Structure 1
Protein backbone atom coordinates (compact mmCIF):
# COMPACT_ATOMS: atom_id res chain seq x y z
CA UNK A 1 0.00 0.00 0.00
CA UNK A 2 1.50 3.35 -0.98
CA UNK A 3 1.63 6.34 1.29
CA UNK A 4 -0.80 9.18 0.94
CA UNK A 5 -1.09 12.72 2.29
CA UNK A 6 -4.29 11.65 4.00
CA UNK A 7 -4.46 7.88 4.53
CA UNK A 8 -7.94 6.41 4.20
CA UNK A 9 -8.95 4.47 7.30
CA UNK A 10 -11.65 1.91 8.09
CA UNK A 11 -12.56 1.56 11.77
CA UNK A 12 -13.47 -1.92 13.02
CA UNK A 13 -14.68 -2.04 16.64
CA UNK A 14 -17.92 -3.29 18.15
CA UNK A 15 -18.27 -0.27 20.46
CA UNK A 16 -19.83 2.71 18.73
CA UNK A 17 -18.42 5.18 21.26
CA UNK A 18 -14.89 3.93 20.61
CA UNK A 19 -15.35 4.21 16.85
CA UNK A 20 -16.63 7.76 17.27
CA UNK A 21 -13.67 8.70 19.49
CA UNK A 22 -11.23 7.21 16.99
CA UNK A 23 -12.93 9.02 14.11
CA UNK A 24 -12.71 12.37 15.89
CA UNK A 25 -9.07 11.76 16.82
CA UNK A 26 -7.99 10.72 13.33
CA UNK A 27 -9.93 13.36 11.43
CA UNK A 28 -8.61 16.07 13.76
CA UNK A 29 -5.12 15.11 12.57
CA UNK A 30 -5.95 15.17 8.87
CA UNK A 31 -6.71 11.49 8.23
CA UNK A 32 -9.80 10.35 6.34
CA UNK A 33 -12.16 7.82 7.91
CA UNK A 34 -13.98 6.16 5.02
CA UNK A 35 -16.14 3.73 6.96
CA UNK A 36 -16.84 1.73 10.10
CA UNK A 37 -17.61 -1.86 11.07
CA UNK A 38 -18.95 -3.41 14.26
CA UNK A 39 -17.88 -7.00 13.50
CA UNK A 40 -15.44 -8.97 11.39
CA UNK A 41 -17.82 -9.79 8.55
CA UNK A 42 -18.73 -6.15 8.04
CA UNK A 43 -15.05 -5.19 8.28
CA UNK A 44 -14.19 -7.53 5.39
CA UNK A 45 -17.17 -6.39 3.29
CA UNK A 46 -16.41 -2.71 3.87
CA UNK A 47 -12.72 -3.20 3.18
CA UNK A 48 -13.61 -4.83 -0.14
CA UNK A 49 -16.01 -2.04 -1.04
CA UNK A 50 -14.03 0.96 0.23
CA UNK A 51 -10.41 -0.21 -0.24
CA UNK A 52 -8.95 1.75 2.69
CA UNK A 53 -5.22 2.21 3.11
CA UNK A 54 -5.47 0.98 6.71
CA UNK A 55 -8.02 -1.02 8.67
CA UNK A 56 -7.82 -0.09 12.35
CA UNK A 57 -8.83 -3.44 13.85
CA UNK A 58 -10.15 -4.45 17.24
CA UNK A 59 -9.59 -8.15 17.93
CA UNK A 60 -12.55 -8.93 20.19
CA UNK A 61 -15.80 -8.47 18.32
CA UNK A 62 -19.07 -10.45 18.31
CA UNK A 63 -19.56 -12.98 15.55
CA UNK A 64 -16.45 -13.01 13.40
CA UNK A 65 -13.46 -11.77 15.39
CA UNK A 66 -10.70 -9.45 14.32
CA UNK A 67 -8.15 -12.21 13.75
CA UNK A 68 -10.26 -13.99 11.14
CA UNK A 69 -11.16 -10.69 9.51
CA UNK A 70 -7.49 -9.67 9.42
CA UNK A 71 -6.54 -12.93 7.71
CA UNK A 72 -9.06 -12.45 4.89
CA UNK A 73 -8.30 -8.75 4.44
CA UNK A 74 -4.57 -9.49 4.16
CA UNK A 75 -4.99 -12.53 1.91
CA UNK A 76 -7.27 -10.60 -0.46
CA UNK A 77 -5.05 -7.51 -0.43
CA UNK A 78 -7.90 -5.25 0.72
CA UNK A 79 -5.75 -3.03 2.91
CA UNK A 80 -3.12 -3.02 5.62
CA UNK A 81 -4.29 -3.95 9.12
CA UNK A 82 -3.22 -2.05 12.24
CA UNK A 83 -4.37 -3.85 15.39
CA UNK A 84 -5.39 -2.09 18.58
CA UNK A 85 -5.00 -4.44 21.51
CA UNK A 86 -4.93 -4.55 25.30
CA UNK A 87 -2.62 -6.28 27.76
CA UNK A 88 -4.93 -9.29 28.17
CA UNK A 89 -5.16 -10.31 24.52
CA UNK A 90 -1.93 -12.25 23.99
CA UNK A 91 -3.57 -15.23 22.29
CA UNK A 92 -5.47 -12.96 19.91
CA UNK A 93 -2.28 -11.03 19.16
CA UNK A 94 -0.54 -14.32 18.27
CA UNK A 95 -3.36 -15.05 15.84
CA UNK A 96 -3.18 -11.58 14.31
CA UNK A 97 0.59 -11.96 13.83
CA UNK A 98 0.00 -15.22 11.98
CA UNK A 99 -2.79 -13.59 9.98
CA UNK A 100 -0.42 -10.93 8.66
CA UNK A 101 -1.32 -7.74 10.55
CA UNK A 102 1.13 -4.97 9.70
CA UNK A 103 1.19 -3.35 13.12
CA UNK A 104 0.18 -3.52 16.75
CA UNK A 105 -0.57 -0.73 19.23
CA UNK A 106 -2.02 -0.71 22.70
CA UNK A 107 -5.47 0.84 22.98
CA UNK A 108 -4.00 3.30 25.46
CA UNK A 109 -1.75 4.88 22.79
CA UNK A 110 -2.05 8.65 22.58
CA UNK A 111 -3.38 10.46 19.53
CA UNK A 112 0.04 11.38 18.14
CA UNK A 113 1.28 7.79 18.40
CA UNK A 114 -1.87 6.41 16.78
CA UNK A 115 -1.85 8.89 13.90
CA UNK A 116 1.83 8.27 13.20
CA UNK A 117 1.25 4.52 13.29
CA UNK A 118 -1.57 4.80 10.74
CA UNK A 119 0.62 6.88 8.45
CA UNK A 120 3.52 4.44 8.83
CA UNK A 121 1.38 1.40 8.04
CA UNK A 122 -0.25 3.22 5.10
CA UNK A 123 3.26 3.82 3.75
CA UNK A 124 3.87 0.07 3.70
CA UNK A 125 5.95 -0.23 6.86
CA UNK A 126 5.31 -2.06 10.11
CA UNK A 127 4.53 -0.71 13.56
CA UNK A 128 5.60 -2.89 16.47
CA UNK A 129 4.79 -1.39 19.86
CA UNK A 130 7.48 -2.92 22.06
CA UNK A 131 5.05 -3.27 24.98
CA UNK A 132 2.92 -5.55 22.82
CA UNK A 133 5.44 -7.43 20.72
CA UNK A 134 8.01 -8.19 23.41
CA UNK A 135 5.46 -10.24 25.31
CA UNK A 136 3.71 -11.66 22.28
CA UNK A 137 6.84 -12.80 20.44
CA UNK A 138 8.40 -14.23 23.58
CA UNK A 139 5.27 -16.23 24.25
CA UNK A 140 5.14 -17.47 20.66
CA UNK A 141 8.75 -18.63 20.94
CA UNK A 142 7.89 -20.61 24.07
CA UNK A 143 4.63 -22.03 22.75
CA UNK A 144 4.44 -25.72 21.76
CA UNK A 145 2.27 -24.66 18.81
CA UNK A 146 4.75 -22.09 17.56
CA UNK A 147 6.01 -24.46 14.89
CA UNK A 148 2.73 -24.08 13.03
CA UNK A 149 3.06 -20.32 12.65
CA UNK A 150 3.36 -20.94 8.93
CA UNK A 151 4.21 -23.96 6.82
CA UNK A 152 5.69 -21.79 4.05
CA UNK A 153 9.44 -21.40 4.42
CA UNK A 154 9.64 -24.32 6.84
CA UNK A 155 13.24 -25.16 7.63
CA UNK A 156 14.59 -21.77 6.53
CA UNK A 157 17.16 -20.42 9.01
CA UNK A 158 19.44 -17.41 9.27
CA UNK A 159 22.04 -19.39 7.34
CA UNK A 160 19.75 -19.18 4.30
CA UNK A 161 19.79 -15.38 4.44
CA UNK A 162 22.56 -13.20 3.05
CA UNK A 163 24.65 -11.20 5.54
CA UNK A 164 22.72 -8.05 4.66
CA UNK A 165 19.38 -9.82 4.98
CA UNK A 166 20.41 -10.99 8.44
CA UNK A 167 21.20 -7.40 9.39
CA UNK A 168 17.79 -6.33 8.09
CA UNK A 169 16.11 -9.12 10.04
CA UNK A 170 17.89 -7.99 13.20
CA UNK A 171 16.52 -4.51 12.57
CA UNK A 172 13.02 -5.89 12.09
CA UNK A 173 13.34 -7.68 15.44
CA UNK A 174 14.23 -4.33 17.00
CA UNK A 175 11.20 -2.69 15.40
CA UNK A 176 13.19 -0.39 13.11
CA UNK A 177 11.39 1.34 10.26
CA UNK A 178 12.71 1.36 6.69
CA UNK A 179 14.13 4.84 7.30
CA UNK A 180 15.91 3.68 10.45
CA UNK A 181 17.29 0.62 8.67
CA UNK A 182 18.49 2.86 5.84
CA UNK A 183 20.29 5.19 8.25
CA UNK A 184 21.82 2.49 10.43
CA UNK A 185 22.92 0.22 7.58
CA UNK A 186 24.02 2.99 5.23
CA UNK A 187 21.83 1.89 2.32
CA UNK A 188 18.97 3.53 0.46
CA UNK A 189 15.33 3.08 1.45
CA UNK A 190 14.47 1.32 -1.85
CA UNK A 191 17.32 -1.12 -1.16
CA UNK A 192 16.00 -1.66 2.35
CA UNK A 193 12.56 -2.44 0.93
CA UNK A 194 14.07 -5.00 -1.43
CA UNK A 195 15.91 -6.71 1.43
CA UNK A 196 12.79 -6.70 3.62
CA UNK A 197 10.79 -8.29 0.81
CA UNK A 198 13.47 -10.93 0.36
CA UNK A 199 13.55 -11.70 4.08
CA UNK A 200 9.76 -12.07 4.23
CA UNK A 201 9.75 -14.28 1.13
CA UNK A 202 12.51 -16.57 2.40
CA UNK A 203 10.92 -16.94 5.84
CA UNK A 204 7.44 -17.38 4.39
CA UNK A 205 6.21 -14.40 6.41
CA UNK A 206 3.18 -12.22 5.69
CA UNK A 207 4.43 -9.17 7.57
CA UNK A 208 7.32 -7.84 9.64
CA UNK A 209 5.70 -9.00 12.87
CA UNK A 210 5.18 -12.45 11.36
CA UNK A 211 8.83 -12.53 10.26
CA UNK A 212 9.90 -11.60 13.78
CA UNK A 213 7.77 -14.38 15.25
CA UNK A 214 9.21 -16.94 12.85
CA UNK A 215 12.77 -15.76 13.47
CA UNK A 216 12.34 -15.95 17.24
CA UNK A 217 11.00 -19.49 16.93
CA UNK A 218 13.74 -20.68 14.59
CA UNK A 219 16.50 -19.08 16.69
CA UNK A 220 15.52 -21.13 19.74
Structure 2
Protein backbone atom coordinates (compact mmCIF):
# COMPACT_ATOMS: atom_id res chain seq x y z
CA UNK A 1 0.00 0.00 0.00
CA UNK A 2 1.16 3.54 -0.74
CA UNK A 3 0.78 4.55 2.89
CA UNK A 4 3.05 1.69 4.05
CA UNK A 5 5.75 2.23 1.46
CA UNK A 6 6.05 5.92 2.16
CA UNK A 7 5.37 5.70 5.89
CA UNK A 8 8.60 7.41 6.96
CA UNK A 9 8.09 10.29 4.51
CA UNK A 10 4.47 10.72 5.51
CA UNK A 11 5.22 10.72 9.23
CA UNK A 12 8.25 13.03 9.12
CA UNK A 13 6.78 15.71 6.90
CA UNK A 14 10.16 17.39 6.42
CA UNK A 15 10.22 16.45 2.73
CA UNK A 16 7.19 16.33 0.46
CA UNK A 17 6.56 14.98 -3.07
CA UNK A 18 5.91 18.25 -4.88
CA UNK A 19 3.65 18.10 -7.93
CA UNK A 20 3.74 21.83 -8.60
CA UNK A 21 3.89 25.19 -6.87
CA UNK A 22 2.86 28.52 -8.35
CA UNK A 23 1.49 31.96 -7.55
CA UNK A 24 -2.03 32.63 -8.82
CA UNK A 25 -5.55 33.64 -7.78
CA UNK A 26 -7.66 31.34 -5.63
CA UNK A 27 -10.55 30.30 -7.82
CA UNK A 28 -12.89 28.41 -5.48
CA UNK A 29 -14.76 28.65 -2.21
CA UNK A 30 -14.64 31.33 0.45
CA UNK A 31 -11.29 32.81 -0.62
CA UNK A 32 -12.19 33.16 -4.31
CA UNK A 33 -10.35 36.06 -5.90
CA UNK A 34 -7.55 36.16 -3.33
CA UNK A 35 -3.94 35.95 -4.56
CA UNK A 36 -2.22 32.91 -3.12
CA UNK A 37 0.79 30.67 -3.57
CA UNK A 38 -0.32 27.10 -4.29
CA UNK A 39 1.60 24.05 -3.09
CA UNK A 40 0.26 20.82 -4.61
CA UNK A 41 1.48 17.68 -2.82
CA UNK A 42 1.56 14.30 -4.56
CA UNK A 43 -0.08 11.19 -3.19
CA UNK A 44 -3.75 10.23 -3.08
CA UNK A 45 -5.44 6.88 -2.42
CA UNK A 46 -9.02 8.08 -2.92
CA UNK A 47 -9.13 8.10 -6.73
CA UNK A 48 -12.23 10.09 -7.71
CA UNK A 49 -13.06 9.30 -11.35
CA UNK A 50 -13.67 12.98 -12.12
CA UNK A 51 -10.48 14.23 -10.44
CA UNK A 52 -8.81 17.06 -12.40
CA UNK A 53 -5.42 16.40 -10.77
CA UNK A 54 -4.84 12.71 -11.46
CA UNK A 55 -1.20 13.52 -12.12
CA UNK A 56 -0.90 13.97 -8.37
CA UNK A 57 -2.07 10.50 -7.35
CA UNK A 58 1.26 8.64 -7.42
CA UNK A 59 3.85 10.29 -5.14
CA UNK A 60 6.66 8.32 -6.81
CA UNK A 61 6.21 10.44 -9.93
CA UNK A 62 7.19 13.63 -8.14
CA UNK A 63 10.48 14.78 -6.68
CA UNK A 64 10.88 15.10 -2.96
CA UNK A 65 11.46 18.68 -1.89
CA UNK A 66 12.34 19.93 1.57
CA UNK A 67 9.77 22.00 3.41
CA UNK A 68 12.35 24.75 3.78
CA UNK A 69 12.86 24.96 0.01
CA UNK A 70 9.20 25.08 -0.91
CA UNK A 71 8.53 27.73 1.75
CA UNK A 72 11.50 29.76 0.52
CA UNK A 73 9.96 29.85 -2.96
CA UNK A 74 6.64 30.95 -1.51
CA UNK A 75 8.32 33.71 0.49
CA UNK A 76 10.09 34.97 -2.64
CA UNK A 77 6.69 35.54 -4.27
CA UNK A 78 4.40 38.47 -3.34
CA UNK A 79 1.99 36.00 -1.70
CA UNK A 80 0.57 36.73 1.74
CA UNK A 81 -1.22 33.38 1.84
CA UNK A 82 -0.44 29.81 0.82
CA UNK A 83 -2.92 27.13 -0.25
CA UNK A 84 -1.81 23.54 0.36
CA UNK A 85 -3.67 21.05 -1.81
CA UNK A 86 -3.14 17.71 -3.52
CA UNK A 87 -3.43 14.87 -4.04
CA UNK A 88 -4.50 14.36 -0.47
CA UNK A 89 -2.43 16.45 1.95
CA UNK A 90 -3.85 14.79 5.07
CA UNK A 91 -1.73 11.73 4.23
CA UNK A 92 1.27 13.69 5.52
CA UNK A 93 2.50 15.21 8.73
CA UNK A 94 2.00 18.88 7.86
CA UNK A 95 3.29 20.28 11.15
CA UNK A 96 6.76 21.15 9.73
CA UNK A 97 5.22 22.95 6.74
CA UNK A 98 2.85 24.97 8.94
CA UNK A 99 5.68 25.87 11.31
CA UNK A 100 7.90 27.17 8.50
CA UNK A 101 5.08 29.20 6.94
CA UNK A 102 4.23 30.78 10.29
CA UNK A 103 7.84 31.89 10.73
CA UNK A 104 7.23 34.21 7.78
CA UNK A 105 3.76 35.40 8.87
CA UNK A 106 2.12 33.76 5.87
CA UNK A 107 -1.51 32.70 6.19
CA UNK A 108 -1.90 28.99 5.50
CA UNK A 109 -5.00 27.45 3.96
CA UNK A 110 -5.60 23.71 3.53
CA UNK A 111 -7.77 21.96 0.94
CA UNK A 112 -8.41 18.36 1.92
CA UNK A 113 -10.88 15.50 1.81
CA UNK A 114 -10.12 14.99 5.49
CA UNK A 115 -9.77 11.25 4.95
CA UNK A 116 -6.91 11.17 7.46
CA UNK A 117 -6.13 13.10 10.63
CA UNK A 118 -5.29 16.73 9.80
CA UNK A 119 -1.99 17.82 11.31
CA UNK A 120 -0.55 21.30 11.74
CA UNK A 121 -2.09 24.63 12.71
CA UNK A 122 -4.14 26.22 9.92
CA UNK A 123 -5.73 29.61 9.39
CA UNK A 124 -8.41 28.06 7.18
CA UNK A 125 -9.41 24.50 6.35
CA UNK A 126 -11.59 23.72 3.34
CA UNK A 127 -13.03 20.23 3.78
CA UNK A 128 -14.12 18.61 0.52
CA UNK A 129 -15.46 15.13 1.36
CA UNK A 130 -15.33 12.37 -1.23
CA UNK A 131 -17.78 9.49 -1.57
CA UNK A 132 -14.95 6.95 -1.95
CA UNK A 133 -13.51 7.67 1.49
CA UNK A 134 -15.34 9.68 4.15
CA UNK A 135 -13.52 12.17 6.37
CA UNK A 136 -12.41 11.07 9.81
CA UNK A 137 -14.54 12.55 12.61
CA UNK A 138 -11.93 15.09 13.69
CA UNK A 139 -11.79 16.63 10.20
CA UNK A 140 -15.40 17.78 10.45
CA UNK A 141 -14.65 19.57 13.72
CA UNK A 142 -11.70 21.46 12.22
CA UNK A 143 -13.40 22.58 8.99
CA UNK A 144 -14.00 26.28 8.38
CA UNK A 145 -15.58 25.54 5.02
CA UNK A 146 -17.37 22.51 3.61
CA UNK A 147 -17.15 22.35 -0.19
CA UNK A 148 -19.05 19.47 -1.74
CA UNK A 149 -18.59 18.63 -5.41
CA UNK A 150 -21.80 17.91 -7.31
CA UNK A 151 -21.28 15.34 -10.06
CA UNK A 152 -24.39 13.17 -9.93
CA UNK A 153 -27.46 15.29 -9.29
CA UNK A 154 -29.51 12.31 -8.12
CA UNK A 155 -27.07 11.36 -5.36
CA UNK A 156 -24.83 14.24 -4.45
CA UNK A 157 -27.28 16.73 -2.92
CA UNK A 158 -28.27 14.08 -0.38
CA UNK A 159 -24.61 13.25 0.31
CA UNK A 160 -23.81 16.94 0.78
CA UNK A 161 -26.57 17.23 3.37
CA UNK A 162 -25.25 14.23 5.28
CA UNK A 163 -21.80 15.80 5.53
CA UNK A 164 -23.27 19.19 6.47
CA UNK A 165 -24.81 17.62 9.57
CA UNK A 166 -21.35 16.75 10.87
CA UNK A 167 -19.54 20.11 10.65
CA UNK A 168 -19.68 22.91 13.20
CA UNK A 169 -22.35 25.60 13.21
CA UNK A 170 -19.86 28.22 12.01
CA UNK A 171 -18.65 26.17 9.05
CA UNK A 172 -19.53 27.76 5.70
CA UNK A 173 -21.30 25.49 3.22
CA UNK A 174 -20.60 25.44 -0.53
CA UNK A 175 -21.85 23.38 -3.45
CA UNK A 176 -19.66 23.27 -6.55
CA UNK A 177 -20.39 21.56 -9.84
CA UNK A 178 -17.78 19.16 -11.12
CA UNK A 179 -16.30 21.02 -14.07
CA UNK A 180 -17.23 18.61 -16.87
CA UNK A 181 -20.85 18.61 -15.64
CA UNK A 182 -21.15 22.37 -15.11
CA UNK A 183 -23.50 23.10 -18.01
CA UNK A 184 -25.69 20.16 -17.04
CA UNK A 185 -25.67 20.81 -13.28
CA UNK A 186 -25.61 24.55 -12.69
CA UNK A 187 -29.34 25.27 -13.04
CA UNK A 188 -30.21 22.53 -10.58
CA UNK A 189 -27.56 23.75 -8.13
CA UNK A 190 -28.88 27.31 -8.35
CA UNK A 191 -32.41 26.14 -7.59
CA UNK A 192 -31.21 23.92 -4.77
CA UNK A 193 -29.33 26.77 -3.09
CA UNK A 194 -32.30 29.11 -3.50
CA UNK A 195 -34.46 26.53 -1.74
CA UNK A 196 -31.79 25.72 0.87
CA UNK A 197 -30.14 29.08 1.66
CA UNK A 198 -27.71 27.71 4.21
CA UNK A 199 -25.69 26.68 1.15
CA UNK A 200 -23.61 28.93 -1.12
CA UNK A 201 -22.40 28.26 -4.66
CA UNK A 202 -18.71 27.90 -5.38
CA UNK A 203 -17.54 28.32 -8.97
CA UNK A 204 -14.20 27.27 -10.40
CA UNK A 205 -13.62 30.86 -11.46
CA UNK A 206 -9.99 30.22 -12.39
CA UNK A 207 -11.21 27.95 -15.19
CA UNK A 208 -13.51 30.65 -16.49
CA UNK A 209 -10.56 33.08 -16.34
CA UNK A 210 -8.28 30.47 -17.93
CA UNK A 211 -5.57 30.83 -15.34
CA UNK A 212 -3.74 28.07 -13.36
Q: What TM-score bracket applies, with the shorter chain setting the length?
A: 0.3 to 0.5
Greater strand proportion:
2
Greater helix proportion:
1
TM-score (norm 1): 0.32
